[in-house]
Chains A and B, each alone.
Chain A
Amino acid sequence: MQPQVDEAQQSGASKTAPGGIAPKRPWGGRRSTAAPYLFLLPFFAIYCTFLLYPTFSALWLSFQEAVALDTPSFTGLDNYVRLLDDERYLHALRNTTVYALASVFILSPLALAVALAIRSFLVPSANLKSFYRISLFMPFITSFVVIALMFSLVFNKDFGLLNSFFRSVGLPRLNWLRSEQLAMVSIVLVGIWTYLGVNSLYFLAGLQNIPHELNEAAAIDGANRRKTFFYVTLPLLRPTILFVVIQATIFSYQLFEIPFLLTNGGPSDATLFLSQYLYEVGFSQFDRGYAAAIGYSMALISILLTVIQLLLYRRFNR
């Protein structure tokens, strides 16, 4: 931040500068007031129109009763109160939370394990390391629609790859996508498949920031690998862990495409996620006010969980 005084000096200096630097410039000098605003203008024009306006418009909508083409009427917090009594909403919230818990407590540790393995002496060659990294990263850049298509082939009860493998090793065939108990498991498996690679890349990046000297120092002091991991690596990895957990939580609460395409929320709402419920309410039932309230509830949940994680982290770090 340059102080104002500095600004005055600069413009004064440039006017009296030897060599007669032309003070007239079409976009103004560095210290002129117009240039930065003009550079910001295109971005903020689009940003205010298509992001800020809909954000506030949705907030306003969530306080209204607006169904189909009827004239909306203000109803205060009614939509939010309605959420608390809506069994399908609560069911979707529960499903989404189960998925979020799985991605924090199953996916993230798995990703850490993969990252540690790739980083450690287990994989000595650099080429092999980058082979693992690149193969694991592939699902993350694959469209969700393609992923859903692939897994509909894999999970098919009669003709699927997984069941044919199960049969060849003598296990019973399972109805992965159409049984109430297994459908959620399948969605979690697809989630792990999709995000394992990118999360282990986050961990790999975090591990790379830990200087080797520290591990060596610990080894000289007589720590074995396990101790080095728990007393050196893990504490230094805390910021990365926090980052991975927060983004896993946020992504989980926004998951839409995979359950929507793979199971369509079924069987009997066993895999109904919040985002799909929002979609149904907003675009099939045309209850726009209520849909906006669901959207804001999702945002609030994400923000709340992030704040809790940050506070926990802060406490833990003291």
Chain B
Amino acid sequence: MITGNRVSTRLWQVVGNAVLLVVIFLTVMPYVYMVSASFKPGDELFSIPVKIFPDSLYWGNYDLLFGKTNFVRWFFNSVFIGVSRMVLAVVISLMAGYAFAKFDFRFKNPLFLLLLATLTLPIYVLIVPLYSMMVAFGWTDHYIALILPLAAQAIGVFLSRQYLLSIPDEILDSARVDGAGEWGIFWRIIVPLSAGYRRDGDPVLYCLLERLHLAARGADQGSDVHRLPRAPYPGRPLQPGVRGRHGRLVPEHGAHHDHLPDHAAALYRGNHPGRGQGLAVLRTLLIGEDRYG
């Protein structure tokens, strides 16, 4: 850094990393102990000098799990329910997000507000009535009871919408010029463009970073602060320059050349999936437009 005392810098680095490594050790230790316990017979697990590692690898617990129980089936249940819910959620959220991002229609804003409002409700409120519904439908003990009710998550619509705002209208318009129907555009343009999202970069941090743009940039739709991103984002499908050229390609077909400044701003604003959720949502709902200083 800027202050030059090298020895003290090194010393601080050693101390700092030692502390961090202790934190990591505390984080990892329970996992290690759980895995090691799975290789111990019961009496060794509950014996007095507690050993972190087992005396010898005991496979009995795994024999029990795979041989005597229905574990394979349980695992299948989890995978099946997880994958079905995911596929369903991705498709319907992307469809709804597409409608909110790329169409103007009556009741657009009321419907969007309705979506926002339910984000604050804890799931526990719904448990009792949901259970009664499942009983009424005769869905208890069926996969569908676990798949369908939780497939429509408002958060998915927000993420899709925020991301899809960054796809230039001109791409969609040129597909229309080429005779594609709305359904075809969705499957052949929207879905492939969304699939490449977050292909590179540190996935975890990138995702969180994106989420936090709502807080850091103060830029949801209500805000009038549109700062440009400092670096290109991996999720951005096109560079801004490209869309400018496309904008000239189809002017007679209602390209928004008269809205270009607006649109360019939307391109930047819409670049950060997930920004419309949570905090910004509440902020917009509760205190109207606001600007972070």
Mark A residues whose CB is within 8 Å of B: 1-2, 7, 9-10, 13-14, 17-18, 21-22, 25-30, 33, 35-37, 39-40, 42-44, 46-47, 50-55, 57-58, 61, 114, 117-118, 120-124, 128, 130, 132-139, 146-147, 149-151, 153-154, 158-161, 163-164, 193, 196-198, 201-202, 204-206, 208-209, 211, 216, 219, 224-225, 238-240, 242-243, 246-247, 253-254, 256, 275, 278-279, 282, 288, 291-292, 295-296, 298-299, 302-303, 306-307, 310-311, 314, 317
Residue from the list A55, A122, A161, A197 in contact with B125, Cβ < 8 A: A55
Q: With a CB–CB cut-off of 8 A, which chain B residues contact A44? A: 96, 111, 152
- Alpha-carbon distance A252/B204, docked complex (angstroms): 23
Please state if A40 and B122 are interface contacts (CB–CB under 8 Å): no
Asked whether A50 lies within 8 Å of B20 as measured between CB atoms, the reply is no
Q: Dominant SS at the A interface?
A: helix
Q: Report chain B residues within 8 Å CB of A209.
A: 212-213, 216-217
What residues of chain B have their CB less than 8 Å away from a CB belonging to chain A?
1-3, 9, 12-13, 16-17, 19-20, 23-24, 26-31, 33-34, 37, 45-50, 52, 91-93, 95-96, 98-100, 102-106, 108, 111, 114-115, 118, 120-130, 132-133, 148-152, 154, 157, 172-173, 176-177, 179, 181-183, 186, 202, 204-205, 208-209, 211-218, 230, 252-254, 256, 259, 278-279, 282-283, 286-287, 290, 292-293
CB distance from A224 to the nearest CB of B (A): 8
Q: Which chain A residues border B204 with CB–CB below 8 Å?
A: 133-134, 137, 201
Q: Tell whether, in the assembled complex, residue B124 and residue A50 are in contact, meaning their CB atoms are under 8 Å apart.
A: no
Cα distance, A52 to B130, chains bound together (Å): 11
A278 and B124 in contact, given A206-B216, A239-B216 (Cβ under 8 angstroms): yes
| Contact indicator A150/B30 (Cβ below 8 Å) | yes
B208 lies within 8 A of A202 (CB): yes
**Distance of B107 from chain A, by nearest CB (Å):** 9
Majority secondary structure of chain B interface residues (helix, strand, loop or mixed): helix
**Chain B residue, CB-CB nearest to A314:** B287
Q: 9 closest pairs, A vs B, by CB?
A: A122-B16, A27-B182, A164-B50, A295-B125, A36-B103, A239-B215, A50-B149, A54-B129, A43-B96
- Tally the A-B contacts, defined by beta carbons under 8 Å: 283
A146 / chain B contacts, CB cutoff of 8 Å: 34
In the complex the two chains form, is A117's CB within 8 Å of B215's CB? no
Q: Which of A21, A36, A247, A275 has the most CB of B within 10 A?
A: A36
Whether B212 pairs with A55 at a CB distance below 8 angstroms is no
A292–B125 CB distance below 8 A: yes
A282 near B122: Cβ-Cβ < 8 Å: no
- C-alpha gap A275/B124 in the complex (Å): 7
**B2 partner residues in chain A, CB cutoff 8 A:** 216, 219
Chain B residues in 8 Å Cβ range of A256: 124
- Bound form: Cα–Cα A55–B152 in Å: 14
In the bound complex, CA of A14 to CA of B177 (Å) = 9
Chain B residues in 8 Å Cβ range of A26: 181-183
A134 vs B28: C-alpha distance when bound (angstroms): 11
Instruction: Report the separation of the CA atoms of residues A292 and B132 in the bound assembly, to the nearest whole angstrom.
Output: 13
Docked pose: A240 CA to B102 CA in angstroms: 30
Residue numbers in B under 8 Å from A53 (CB-CB): 129, 133
